[in-house]
Amino acid sequence: MPGRPSDPDSAIVPFSPMAEDVPLFPVRHGLKPPIFRVFVSWSRGSHLQVACVCPRDESLEEKADGDLGDEDVGGKVLEVKLGTSDANINEAKRRWIAYGSVPPFALLQGRRNSLAAMSRISSSSTFIDWWKHVLEYSQSISELLGNTRLQSTAVIEDPKLVLERVGEPTSLKAAWQLIEIFYVDRHSFSGLAESVVDWLAEFDCLLSEKDTTVSSKLVKLQEQLVNLQVIEDDPEYWEGISSALSVGWLEVVVKLLRLHGSYQLNQLDSRETENGLVEAVAVLVSTMPCLHHDFPAGKLGQYYRTKPDFVKAWEKWRGQISKLDCSAFWVQCGHRQTREGLRNLLQIMLGNINNISAAVFHWIELLVPHLLFIRPLTAGFEEFQGLAQKCMQIKFNNTPNGLVRLFIGILGENTEVVLAECSKSFGPWMVTHCLELLTADNNQNKIFLHEERYNLGGISILELHRLVYAQVLASHPLTSQIAPTYLVSCPKQGLGLLEILLCRQPVQHHQIILKNLEICRLYELDGISSCIKKIAGIYHWKHGRKGAGIYWLQEARDEATLNHIAHHLFESIGRTISDESFKQWEGLIELLGPDVGSAGGLGFLHTYRDFKKSLKLVESGRTSDVARQAIEALIQLLKSPSTPQRFWFPLLHDSLKLLNWRERPLLNVSETNLLLNKLQELSMAKLRPDFCSTELQPNVLSSVRLALARNLSRAFLEE
Amino acid sequence: MERDLATLEKGVRCCSWNYCGQRLAVGYADGSVAVHDSADPSSTFSRSSKWMVHACGIMNIVWIPPEFGDAIACLCVDGTLSLWEEVGEDVHSVSWKQCKVFECSDPRVLEVQFGVSSAYLKLVAAYSDGRVKVYELLDALDLNKWQLQISPIQFSQDLVFAFFDTKFKIWEFEEARQRWLPVAELALTEDKDDRVHAVAWAPNIGRSYELVAVASCKGIAIWHVGLNSEPDERLPAEKVALLSGHDGEIWQLDWDMSGMTLASTGGDGMIRLWQSNLNGIWHEEAVLDCCGGQ
C-alpha cells in the first residue's frame, strides 16, 4: 500500500512498518468526553466523514434545562481529510497543479498507447527514445511547479543584496527535479554532476528546516551586511564567502568579495596589495572552468562542453591558483582576516577537503564541492554513489527531512523507498506522476512497477498509485472531474472504480447528470449510464417531477419501472376519467411522446386515452360510430403486446356497455373471439402463484363473459 | 485536518449516510429521526426534516439503494422495522412518509440490510431467534409491496451473508433453483465461539476475490473469498490477517470505495485505518483519536 515500503531490510533509510509508531491524529470535535459512539463513512474519495455522539446522560439533561449552550449539543459531524501533501502548498495551488498536470499526463499516455499500437504492427521497438517523451513530460510538470532561480546578477542596483530568489522554492519541485535528474536523463551521466550542482543552487535552502545550510548562513549574513562597518573584520563575512564558494555560487562569492573594504576609494592607496589579492581571487573565482552541456547566460565561470577542453582549462586554472597561493604578496597583506580568508578560498578551490568540510553544513553541500573541486570528472552513478556515501559519513544529518530522505532513497537505488518517501512527504499527486519518470529509462523499475500482484488484488504498483490519486481527486467536487483521466489509464481496476465513483454522484442537478453521462459515453460504460438515468428517474418521479422522471426512465430503457408507472397512470386515469385532473394525466402521456412504446410499456396509454375519450362520448349519448371507435381502441389495446395483462380485465369491464350495444353487435366474430381468448387467458393466469390482480371479481367476470357470448351469438347471426 | 459539518441535538443513537454522502439520517433515543442535507460535498449539513418514527428509540438506520428512491429503514429498540421515504406530488410538498411497517415484536429484528440483485430489491432482516428473512420488493415505485422470499446480511452483487449467533456464514442465492445455499463460513475452528460484532464487504473493482472484514472480540479478521465455487459448491475462503488494536468492542467497519483502506471504530473511541502493504501484510496506517475533543 502506498506510504510504506514492504521490505525494510534492503532500505538505506530504516523504514520499519512494524516498529514504526502508528501516527495518531486527534479529532477536534469540541465535545466533552466521554464519547458514546463514533460513526464513520468514506462516502466518495479519501475524505472520512465522522460523527461523534455524546452519551445520553439524564443528569446532564437535567442541568441542561436551565443552562442551554454546549450542554445541548448531542454530537458533531466532521469531515476528516486524510493523506499527506507538501504543507507549503495551499489548496488552491494544489488544485492548480492537479489540473495543470492532466494535459502532460494525458499526452504521455496517448503517446504510449500509439507507440504500443505501432510496435504491435511493425514488431520493431518503438520505445527506444521513450525517455525523450518522458523528459518533455517532466519539464512540463516542472514548469507547473513554479520557477525559482537564484538571481544574483539582477541585483546590481543594491550592492548589499547578495541573494535574491524569484519565487519561493518548494520541496515538491525540488523532489521532482531530483527524480528527473537521476531517472530520466540517466543514460548520460556526464551531466549528473552539473545537474546536482545546479539543483543545489536552487534548492539548498530546503535541505533542512532547523539546521544551518549554506543558504541560511548567507541569508543571515545578508541581514548583517547593512549594519557592518568594516565588513572584512567580521569572521562571518569570510565564512559566508567560503560556504558560497564551496557549493559553487560564484556570483555570490564575487559580489561579496567586492564588498571588501579595500575597494573603497579612500582606502585604495593604503590597501593596494590587499585589494589586489582580493581582486585576484575574485578573478580566479569568476573564471573557474566548468564542464556544462550549455553555456548559461549571465553566470560566471568558463564553460566547456567537452572533457579535453575542460581538463586543459582546469589545469591552467589550478596552476594559477597554486601560483597565487605561493605568492610573496601575502606577506605584504597586513589585514590578517583578509589574508586568512582569501587563502582559505584558494584552498577550497584547490580541493582541500578540510577547508571545504569546514565551510559546508550538510552532506549534500559537501557532495557538491567534491564534484566541483575534488573530482570534477565524476562520471557514472556508482562513482557518484560512492562519493555521496563518503560525504554522508562526514556530515550525516540525524533528522533528514523528506527531500533528503528521498535523495538517500535514490542513491540507494531502492524504488520502493523512493515511492514510500514520495508518498509520505509529497502525497499521491507526486507518486502518481513521478512513476512515469521512474520507469522512463529503467527496465528493472519497469518490471517492478508494472508487475501484477495478487496481494494488490491483481494490479501493479503503478496502477495502485493511480487509483489512490484518483480517489483523492474524487474527494473534492472541483477536482472530481479529472479523476477519470487517471482511472482510464488503469488497465485492470480503473473502470471498476470509475463505475463506483459515477454511481455515487448525486442526481439532483441536471448538469451533473449530463456531465456524468458524458463520461459514461466516452468510456462506454452503458450499464452505469443506465443506472444513473434510473436513479435520476426515480428521484424525480418521487419528488413530484413526474415528467423528468419518465424522461430519465425512458432514457434508461427501464421497462419494468415504466410498466409500473404505466400501471399507476392507468389507475389514475381510470379513477379520474370524469375529473378535471384527467387533463393532468393526459398531459403526462402526451409528454411521453409517440415513440414511447419502444422504450417500455407506456405506448398503450395513448390508445387507452383514446378509448377513454370515446367511452366518455358514448356515455354522454353519442352515436354508434363513436361506440365503434371505442371498440377499435379496445381491440388495439388487447392486441398490443405492450398492454400489461393486469389491465385486460379492467378494460373489458369498462367496455361492458359496448359489448351489450343495443342497436347491433359492435364486435365481429373474430374480434369477439379475441376478447374471449383474452378472458380465458386471464382465468388461467389466475391460477398461477405470481398472479397479483385483485380486481378479478367472479360476478363481474361472469357478466363480461355473458356479454361476450351474447355479442358472439349476435355476430354469428349478422354474418 | 478536520472540518465541522453539522451539530446534532442530544439523544443521538445512530447515524447513517446515503450513497453519495450528502444526506445524513440521525436516529434519536426518543424515537425520532432527523435528515441533514448538504448542497454539495464541500458545504456543511443542514437539517431538512425531523419526524417521529416510533415511541421507542431508534437503534439503526439503513438507506435503501438509490435506484429505489430516497428512503430509509428504521430499526427501533423494540425490534420494530419501518420503511420511510421522501416523496411529494410536486417539489414544494416533499416530505417523509411511512410506507411500510414490518410486524415483528417477537422475535425482534436485530439487523437489516438491502441488496440489489438483477433489478430486484431485497431486504434481509436478522431476527433475535437466529432466523433471517428475505423480502423482495414487488413494485419498484411502491415500497409498501414486499413479498417474503425465504430465509439468510449485507449483499455484495449476488452474494449475501448472515450471522448465526457466533457463526459467520456466506449464503448465495441460486437463481435457477430459487434457493439460498451456504457457500462459505468465515471462521476458523478455534474462532467458532467468538461473537461477531461487525462485518464489512469491500467494494470489488476488479479483484479476483472478495475482501471481507469480520470484527469479533479477537480483533478484525480480513478474509479473501474466492469468486468461483469449488467442486463441493463451496467458495474458497482464506483468513489473511487478524488486526488487533481496538481496546474493547468494535462498533463499525467501513471500506473506502476502492476497497484499499478499512476504517474501524470501537469502544476505545478511536478510528483506526488499516491497509495492506505491497507484500499483502495488513497494518494499522493511522489512528484518529475521538476521545479528546479539544
- Give the nearest partner residue to B277 out of A1, A51, A568, using CB atoms: A1
What mean pLDDT comes out for the span B253-277?
A: 92
pLDDT digits (tens, 9 = 90+) for B112-127: 888 876 667 888 888 8
- How far apart CA B185 and CA A266 sit, in angstroms, is 96
**Measuring CA to CA, which residue among A140, A105, A115 is closest to residue A485?**
A105
Query: Cβ–Cβ of A49/B263 closer than 8 Å?
Result: no
**More confident call, B251 vs A18:** B251
Q: Name the residue of chain A whose CA is nearest to B205's CA.
A: A496
**Per-residue confidence (pLDDT) for residue A661, from 0 to 100:** 83
Give the CA radius of gyration of chain A.
42
Instruction: State the DSSP H helix or E strand holding residue B96, giving kind and residue range, or none if neither.
Output: strand B95-102
Kindly indicate the confidence band of residue A66, based on its pLDDT and cuts at 50, 70 and 90. very low
**Per-residue confidence (pLDDT) for residue A490, from 0 to 100:** 92
**Per-residue confidence (pLDDT) for residue A85, from 0 to 100:** 62
Does residue B253 sit within a domain?
yes
Query: Cβ–Cβ of A28/B205 closer than 8 Å?
Result: no
**Per-residue confidence (pLDDT) for residue A576, from 0 to 100:** 47
Give the range among A78-82, A379-383, A581-585 with minimum mean pLDDT.
A581-585
List the grid coordinates of A231. Answer: 565588513
List the grid coordinates of A408. Answer: 538517500
**Measuring CA to CA, which residue among A51, A50, A54, A19 is closest to residue A33?**
A54
- How far apart CA B109 and CA B59 sit, in angstroms, is 10
- SS3 label, residue A354: helix
What mean pLDDT comes out for the span A140-157?
A: 65
First-last CA distance in chain B: 14
Residue entry with cell 553544513: A361
Tell which A residues from 46 to 105 touch B, by Cβ distance under 8 Å. Answer: 46, 48-54, 56, 61, 64, 72-82
**CA–CA–CA angle B252, B255, B260 (5° rounding):** 140
Give the range among A434-438, A550-554, B155-159 with minimum mean pLDDT.
B155-159
Q: B292 and chain A: CB distance < 8 Å anywhere?
A: yes
**Per-residue confidence (pLDDT) for residue A160, from 0 to 100:** 62
- Give the nearest partner residue to A535 out of B42, B67, B87, using CB atoms: B67
Domain around B265: 192-293
What mean pLDDT comes out for the span A388-414?
A: 87
- Give the nearest partner residue to B69 out of A542, A565, A692, using CB atoms: A542
Does residue B136 sit within a domain?
no
- For residues A105 and A433, the answer to whether their CB atoms sit within 8 Å is yes
Query: Cβ–Cβ of B281/A25 closer than 8 Å?
Result: no
Q: What is the dihedral of CA A419, A421, A427, A429, to 10 degrees?
A: -40
Q: A45 and chain B: CB distance < 8 Å anywhere?
A: yes
- SS3 label, residue B239: strand
Residues in A closer than 8 angstroms to B94, CB to CB, are 543-544
Count of structural domains within chain B: 1
Cis peptide, bond prior to residue A34, ω within 30 of zero = yes
List the grid coordinates of A1. Answer: 500500500
pLDDT digits (tens, 9 = 90+) for A532-545: 999 999 999 999 88
Query: Cβ–Cβ of B275/A1 closer than 8 Å?
Result: yes
**Per-residue confidence (pLDDT) for residue B32, from 0 to 100:** 95
Residues in A closer than 8 angstroms to B68, CB to CB, are 538
- Give the nearest partner residue to B139 out of A416, A496, A564, using CB atoms: A564
All residues at 6 or more sequence positions from A299 whose CB lies less than 8 Å from its CB, including other chains? A153, A250, A251
- The average confidence (pLDDT) of chain A is 81
Whether the pLDDT of residue A43 is over 80: the answer is no
The three-state (H, E, C) secondary structure of A475-496, written as one string: CCCCCHHHHHHHHCCCCCCHHH
- How far apart CA B158 and CA A655 sit, in angstroms, is 45
Bridge-based pairing of strands B120-127 and B109-117 is antiparallel
Cis peptide, bond prior to residue B182, ω within 30 of zero = no
Residue entry with cell 437489516: B112
Q: Which residues pair with B34 in a beta bridge?
A: B26, B50
- How far apart CA A432 and CA A430 sit, in angstroms, is 6
Q: How far is CA B168 from CA B41, B171, B210, in A?
A: 36, 10, 15
Question: Cβ of B131: how many Cβ atoms within 10 Å?
Answer: 13
Q: Any alpha helices (H) in A509-654, and if so which ranges?
A: 510-522, 526-542, 546-556, 559-575, 582-592, 596-599, 603-619, 624-639, 648-654
Query: Cβ–Cβ of B40/A477 closer than 8 Å?
Result: yes
Query: Cβ–Cβ of A74/B21 closer than 8 Å?
Result: no
Q: How far is CA A501 from CA A487, B115, B121, in A?
A: 10, 18, 21
Whether the pLDDT of residue A706 is over 50: the answer is yes
**Per-residue confidence (pLDDT) for residue B46, from 0 to 100:** 92
**More confident call, A88 vs B274:** B274
Instruction: State the DSSP H helix or E strand holding residue A322, giving kind and residue range, or none if neither.
Output: helix A307-325
Residues in A closer than 8 angstroms to B92, CB to CB, are 544
Q: How far is B145 from chain A (nearest CA, A)?
A: 11
All residues at 6 or more sequence positions from A599 whose CB lies less than 8 Å from its CB, including other chains? A554, A557, A559, A562
Whether the pLDDT of residue A597 is over 70: the answer is no
- How far apart CA A69 and CA A561 sit, in angstroms, is 49
Tell which B residues from 156 to 195 touch A, by Cβ distance under 8 Å. Answer: none
Q: Which residues pair with A100 in a beta bridge?
A: none
Q: B231 and chain A: CB distance < 8 Å anywhere?
A: no
Q: How far is CA A367 from CA A346, A377, B281, in A?
A: 18, 13, 38
**Per-residue confidence (pLDDT) for residue B213, from 0 to 100:** 93
pLDDT digits (tens, 9 = 90+) for A200-233: 988 888 888 888 888 888 888 888 887 777 788 8
- How far apart CA A534 and CA A502 sit, in angstroms, is 13
Whether the pLDDT of residue A376 is over 60: the answer is yes
Whether the pLDDT of residue A125 is over 70: the answer is no
For residue B101, which amino acid is it? V
- How far apart CA B141 and CA B64 sit, in angstroms, is 13
Query: Cβ–Cβ of A458/B208 closer than 8 Å?
Result: yes
* ipTM here: 0.93
CA-CA-CA-CA torsion sign (B167, B173, B177, B183): negative
**Per-residue confidence (pLDDT) for residue A153, from 0 to 100:** 46
**More confident call, B140 vs B160:** B140
The alpha carbon of residue A54 and the mean position of all alpha carbons in its chain are separated, in whole angstroms, by: 36
pLDDT digits (tens, 9 = 90+) for A614-655: 888 887 776 778 888 888 888 888 888 777 777 788 788 888
pLDDT digits (tens, 9 = 90+) for A647-699: 788 788 888 888 888 888 888 888 888 888 888 888 777 766 655 555 557 77
Kindly indicate the confidence band of residue A380, based on its pLDDT and cuts at 50, 70 and 90. confident
- SS3 label, residue A556: helix
Whether the pLDDT of residue A255 is over 80: the answer is yes
**Per-residue confidence (pLDDT) for residue A694, from 0 to 100:** 52
Kindly indicate the confidence band of residue A15, based on its pLDDT and cuts at 50, 70 and 90. very low
Orientation of helix A461-474 relative to helix A415-438, angle to 10°: 80
Does residue B163 sit within a domain?
no
- The average confidence (pLDDT) of chain B is 85
**More confident call, B174 vs B51:** B51
What mean pLDDT comes out for the span A264-269?
A: 71
pLDDT digits (tens, 9 = 90+) for A307-365: 888 899 999 999 998 988 888 888 887 788 888 888 899 999 998 999 999 999 999 99
Tell me which of B5, B277, B281, B282 to substitute to probe the interface with A (most A C-beta atoms closer than 10 Å): B277
Residues in A closer than 8 angstroms to B285, CB to CB, are 1, 3-4, 22
Q: What is the dihedral of CA A25, A31, A33, A36, to 10 degrees?
A: -90
Phi-psi region at A148: left, alpha or beta (left = phi > 0; alpha = psi -120 to 50): beta
Query: Cβ–Cβ of B16/A39 closer than 8 Å?
Result: yes
Tell me which of A543, A565, A690 to substitute to probe the interface with B (most B C-beta atoms closer than 10 Å): A543
Does residue B7 sit within a domain?
no
pLDDT digits (tens, 9 = 90+) for B40-90: 777 899 999 999 998 889 999 999 999 999 999 999 998 889 999 999 887
Q: How far is A15 from chain B (nearest CA, A)?
A: 13
- How far apart CA A536 and CA B19 sit, in angstroms, is 13
Q: How far is B111 from chain A (nearest CA, A)?
A: 16
Does residue B229 sit within a domain?
yes
pLDDT digits (tens, 9 = 90+) for B126-137: 888 777 888 889
**Per-residue confidence (pLDDT) for residue A122, from 0 to 100:** 63
Query: Cβ–Cβ of B45/A77 closer than 8 Å?
Result: yes
- How far apart CA A261 and CA A275 sit, in angstroms, is 8
CA-CA-CA-CA torsion sign (A327, A328, A333, A337): positive
- How far apart CA A43 and CA B138 sit, in angstroms, is 29
**More confident call, B173 vs B235:** B235
pLDDT digits (tens, 9 = 90+) for A435-475: 999 988 778 888 889 999 888 888 999 999 999 999 999 98
All residues at 6 or more sequence positions from B290 whose CB lies less than 8 Å from its CB, including other chains? A27, A29, A35, A38, A50, A52, B269, B270, B271
**More confident call, B140 vs B66:** B66
Residue A321's φ and ψ, nearest 5 degrees, are -65, -45
Bridge-based pairing of strands B196-201 and B209-216 is antiparallel
- Give the nearest partner residue to B12 out of A24, A75, A531, using CB atoms: A75
**Per-residue confidence (pLDDT) for residue A274, from 0 to 100:** 83
Q: A43 and chain B: CB distance < 8 Å anywhere?
A: yes
Kindly indicate the confidence band of residue A374, based on its pLDDT and cuts at 50, 70 and 90. confident
- For residues B191 and B218, the answer to whether their CB atoms sit within 8 Å is yes
What mean pLDDT comes out for the span B150-168?
A: 48
What mean pLDDT comes out for the span A150-161?
A: 51
